[in-house]
Amino acid sequence: MITIKSLEEIEVMEEGGKILAMIMKKLLEEVKPNVKGDYLNDLAKKLILENNALPSFENYDGFPATLCLSINEVIVHGIPFNVILNEGDIVSLDLGLFYKGFHSDMAVTCGVGKISLEKQKLIKATKNTLNKAIENIKPGLKFYEIGKFIEKYAKEQGFNVIKELCGHGIGRKLHEDPLILNFFNKDDGNETIKNGMTFCIEPMLTKGDWRIKRAKDGYGFRTRDNSLSAHFEHTIAIKNNRVKILTVL
């Protein structure tokens, strides 16, 4: 069942989203060649705790870290431990926090040092796909139409969407109904978007095949054909008949 939040509850989620975006901005400033994933994870946890919040991901289904750090062909949920960023990598930082009873969740992909034009194009396309999809969201829309927008924009830019991973509702729980697919499937997601709904949109794009497999760390997911991937995510709310992005950088 999709939960409806009051205006007061959405205001609390806005506060949490602003804190999360601020922390993400500080983490992105630290993404450089030779930086250790452990350092980024420790910094993320330190900043979350300093802002009177708790990490959403740590110990969620056994996940051992605060920050998901996914590099190159790893799409999501990579473990940051014993990882060193290298010049030319692309890296996705996915982070969530729990603030005053509500979760917020966001992800950004960026380059480490100087990256190729191909990697720049993938990152830009994924970010634009998220923005374009959000621009089209409004009350009365069906959730499956979000997947249609995402898939359309991704293909126009020459990329495929990862079909086996998706967005989700969010609130008092990190993952709530509904599941929000990144591709068009009219049989899945026919609920209507309404005021008071809060959810995460998170396109994941690749130049190669969309099929995935488990990463070596046992938690992450990577492309099966080793093609590069990128991931962007925002938490949004439907408030007063308008879309409100809660995790704006």
Residue appearing with tokens 């938490």: 235
- Coil, strand, or helix at residue 238? strand
158-199 pLDDT per residue, tens: 999 999 999 999 999 999 999 999 999 988 888 999 999 999
Q: What backbone phi and psi angles, to 5 degrees, belong to 30?
A: -95, 0
28-66 pLDDT per residue, tens: 999 999 999 999 999 999 999 999 999 999 999 999 999
Measured distance CA(161)–CA(231) in Å, rounded? 10
Q: Give domain 7-238's CATH superfamily.
A: Creatinase/methionine aminopeptidase superfamily (3.90.230.10)
The ranges assigned to domains in the chain are 7-238
Instruction: Report residue 89's pLDDT band, with 50, 70 and 90 as the boundaries.
Output: very high
Q: Does the structure show a pLDDT above 90 at 221? A: yes
Measured distance CA(37)–CA(48) in Å, rounded? 17
